[in-house]
Amino acid sequence: MNDADTMALRHFRLSRDSAGIAWLEIDCAESSVNRLSGEVLAELTQVLDHFDHRPPAGLILLSGKASGFFAGADINEFGALDQVDLVQELIARGCKVFDRLAAVPYPTLALVHGHCVGGGLELALACRYRLAVDQADTSFALPEVMLGIVPAWGGMHRLPALIGAPAALDMMLTGRAVDARKAQRLGLVDARVPLRLKRQAAAQHVRSGKPPRRARGLGRLLNARVLRPIMMRQTARKLDERDPYQHYMAPRAILEIWGRHDGEALEAPDLLREMTRSDTARNLIRVFRLQERLKAFGRPTTEATEVQHVHVVGAGTMGGDIAAWCALKGIRVTLQDQDRERIADAQGRAHALFIRRIKEKREQRAAFDRLIPDPEGYGVSQADLIIEAITENLEAKQGLYANLEPRMKPGALLASNTSSLSLQVLGAQLREPQRLVGIHFFNPVARMQLVEVVETDVLSPAARATALAFVGKLSKLPLPVKDAPGFLVNAVLAPYMLEAMRCVDEGLAPETVDEAMKVFGMPMGPLELADTVGLDIAHAAGQQLAGAHSLPKCLEAHLARRELGRKTGRGFYVWKDGKAVKKTPGTPPSGLSERLIAPLVERTRAQVEHGVVADADLADAGVVLGTGFAPFSGGPLHRERHRAPPVHPI
């Protein structure tokens, strides 16, 4: 009798080979990725029931999706996070299936290609063996912490036992992914196997009779119960440094559950209750969903043309780094600047980026070869997309466009990285203004995921689609915005920074103002941010966006002394070795953070009302990703909607 005959499976394909090995291919119905939903877990249970009666010689779990093994649990099932009983039930259900898989008498193996994330990794950890298909996109991660939750399906127990406490805690507390090579080094997988031999390797390995891997050496020692308190104290200190105001509970919960409950989440019901009832988890999941929404804007549509060659004009801070990022992502880039030295500097930075990001020497070389210095601008006539990132000056940009446009190939796109100029004005003298789009990257390009895609009224749908898909191809998150001063992100940052400067005018120390916002949950205070951006740039943005208000006196005074912030070594702070030298902050007056946030919230709302961004959720996504606005708050407008009404003293 055939296995498949006995069961109706929607998400799995089951077959047995002549050696009696069962091959269980996971291929979730109606989805491009595999997700561990309740239905998938139920089918897996059904399969295990079946094997209790007809045990295979070995069981190999693999994915039928090109995208990878598993993309984690189905977060749509986390909807009722505040219903603690449901959460506990969800955890118990997963643990039960995985514990059962871990205890079966026949050998089991997870054959992993692509992403192996969250619950997917916990499933793989419950197998006796794991093999990683040796390809660039194979990666392993427990990213639950980023959603404000914990890897509760056995990951907190099995991962430290497998790779030792320090490496496991690092993965669980940061959510960072490791690639196939690192997974092998850590002992997370038994071996890496070439794609074309993956099935033979899996069939051989599952019947090898080898003992399952266990952590060795110091990693194993530090996972021993007696030594855990030491590891806990050390790690807690690091967490306090990283999150001094305790905005995030999940990392501390992971540490506690590992240290005191051997990684068994259900043994810490109070902690689970507190964590799942807090707004943080719900808001972080909200931000994750919004990121997925932005990601969807970047998926190619039928209207989009694939960009294979980009020509970048301007090899300064932004243009140089944009060119490097494009080359890193496999696109051929020609890089032009009137100053050859700027091109050479940009190549130097690109080289450092490639070495940091690409493991294989050959591929580093290939990325470098894709980045072609082109001071004469020969690439203009061949490029599918030209990105202009020259100095922020209207006449200079218009003059450049007049020179570029006649040489561009038909259908090619012209994009500006301008932060503050109107696209409509920039394109006023173009013959085809319908192909001018804003592609506004943020600084530093390699770190900032958000890219605003700026539309004018005349932008053609095909050009819009191509620009969005291009940003998606760069693995960035595109946010469509309308051509309006400051677009979204800079428009909301300016009044916030100006308000902070007004506090300095009123006599507060910059340290005190910045500290108030760090307590609030910002990664950096507004004055340190203004110094980092450059006070000349903050001034220009302020002039453009301050409306009827006059600019703060302290800003004018710094500019009069040519103190432009970090780049000149002095601004609101003195800067040494790229760091602001700070005095101890004073106690912020009560209500300071709300005062500073108010103009940011108001401007965010105005940008939605004026249609600069399509809706409030997208505005929240843009502000969180573009300014670092406390992600655990769910974004400025969400926070405002859910905030308890202020209590006024009588």
Catalytic residues: 419, 440, 452, 490
Residues 265-304 that bind ligand NAD (CB under 6 A): none
- Residue with smaller CB distance to ligand NAD, 224 or 352: 352
Closest contact distance (angstroms) between CB of 416 and ligand NAD is 7
Smallest distance, Å, CB 398 to ligand NAD? Answer: 11
Q: Which of 138, 223, 419, 604 binds ligand NAD (CB under 6 A)?
A: 419
Q: Which of 303, 392, 536, 602 binds ligand NAD (CB under 6 A)?
A: 392
In the complex, least distance from residue 351 CB atom to ligand NAD, rounded to whole angstroms: 18
- Answer whether 320's CB lies under 8 Å from 335's CB: yes
* 3-class SS of residue 645: coil
DSSP 578: T
* C-beta closer to ligand NAD: residue 167 or 315: 315
Write the DSSP symbol of residue 382. Answer: T
Instruction: Give dist(CA 139, CA 155) in Å, integer.
Output: 16
In the structure encoding, which two tokens stand for residue 103, read together? 């205890």
By the 10 Å C-beta count (0-12 exposed, 13-18 middle, 19+ buried), 485 is classed as: middle
Q: Are 294 and 621 in contact (CB under 8 A)?
A: yes
Which one of 34, 276, 364, 418 is in contact with ligand NAD (CB under 6 A)? 418
What are the distances in angstroms from CA 607 to CA 162, 420, 485, 497, 612? 50, 15, 10, 17, 5
Our CB check for ligand NAD shows the closer of 272 and 372 to be 372
Q: Do residues 202 and 60 make contact, with C-beta atoms less than 8 angstroms apart?
A: yes
Q: Shortest approach of ligand NAD to residue 256 CB, angstroms?
A: 40
Closer CB to ligand NAD, 562 or 641, in the complex? 562
**Residue showing tokens 């080898």:** 210
Q: Which of 389, 494, 600, 613 binds ligand NAD (CB under 6 A)?
A: 389
For residues 372 and 379, give the distance between their C-alpha atoms in angstroms, rounded to a whole number: 9
Using omega within 30 degrees of 0 as the cis cutoff, is the peptide bond preceding 599 cis?
Answer: no
* Residue carrying the six token digits 């760091």: 579
Stretch that binds ligand NAD, among 125-133, 391-399, 607-615, 616-624 (CB under 6 A): 391-399
User: What's the start-to-end Cα distance of the chain, in Å?
Assistant: 80
Q: Return the range that interacts with ligand NAD (CB under 6 A); candidates 26-34, 191-199, 384-392, 508-516.
A: 384-392
Selected from 338, 382, 398, 544, the binder of ligand NAD by CB under 6 A is 338
* Residue 204 or 381 with smaller CB distance to ligand NAD: 381
Closer Cβ to ligand NAD, 419 or 593, answer by number? 419
Quick check: 33 binds ligand NAD (CB under 6 A)?
A: no
**Is 396 near ligand NAD (CB under 6 A)?**
yes
| Single residue of 274, 339, 457, 594 touching ligand NAD by CB under 6 A | 339
Q: How far apart are CA 464 and CA 455, in angstroms?
A: 7
Which span sits near ligand NAD by CB under 6 A: 188-196, 387-395, 500-508, 593-601?
Answer: 387-395
CB of 453 to ligand NAD, least distance (A): 14
The C-alpha atoms of residue 337 and residue 377 are separated, in whole angstroms, by 8
DSSP string, 32-59: SS--B-HHHHHHHHHHHHHHHHS--SEE
Per-residue binding letters, 298-337, with ligand NAD (x by CB under 6 A):
---------------xxxxxxx----------------xx
**Segment contacting ligand NAD by CB under 6 A, of 176-184, 359-367, 386-394, 547-555:** 386-394
Binding of residue 423 to ligand NAD (CB under 6 A): no
Q: Which residue is nearest to ligand NAD (CB)?
A: 316
| Among the residue ranges 392-400, 493-501, 558-566, 631-639, the one whose residues contact ligand NAD (CB under 6 A) | 392-400
Given a contact cutoff of 8 angstroms between Cβ atoms, the answer to whether 552 and 504 are in contact is yes
We find the least distance from the C-beta atom of residue 380 to ligand NAD, in angstroms, to be 11
The CB-of-590 to ligand NAD minimum distance in angstroms stands at 34
Structure-block tokens of residue 26? 């996971």
User: Cβ(266)–Cβ(610) under 8 Å?
Assistant: no
Q: Which is nearer to ligand NAD, 443 or 449 (CB)?
A: 443
Binding to ligand NAD (CB under 6 A) within 340-369 occurs at 342
Of 417, 466, 607, 633, which one interacts with ligand NAD (CB under 6 A)?
417
Q: Running DSSP on this structure, what letter comes out for residue 402?
A: H
- Judged by CB under 6 A, the stretch of 69-77, 78-86, 390-398, 594-602 that binds ligand NAD is 390-398
- 73 vs 415, beta carbon nearer ligand NAD: 415
Site for ligand NAD (CB under 6 A): which residue of 6, 443, 460, 544?
A: 443
Pairing of strands 139-141, 178-179: antiparallel
Which one of residues 400, 437, 488, 516 is an interface residue with ligand NAD (CB under 6 A)? 400
Number of residues this chain uses to bind ligand NAD (CB under 6 A) = 23
Return the C-alpha torsion angle 605, 504, 579, 530, nearest 10: 30
Q: Which residues are within 8 A (CB) of 618 and not within 5 positions of it... i.e. 6 or more apart?
A: 290, 293, 294, 479
Question: Closest by alpha carbon to 205, among 184, 218, 186, 191?
Answer: 191
Question: How far, in Å, CA of 368 to CA of 74, rounded?
Answer: 39
Q: Cβ contacts of residue 268 below 8 Å, gap of 6+?
A: 253, 256, 257, 260, 261
Q: Quick one: angle between helices 616-627 and 489-505, nearest 10?
A: 60
Q: Which residues bind ligand NAD (CB under 6 A)?
A: 313-319, 336-339, 342, 389-392, 396, 400, 417-419, 442-443
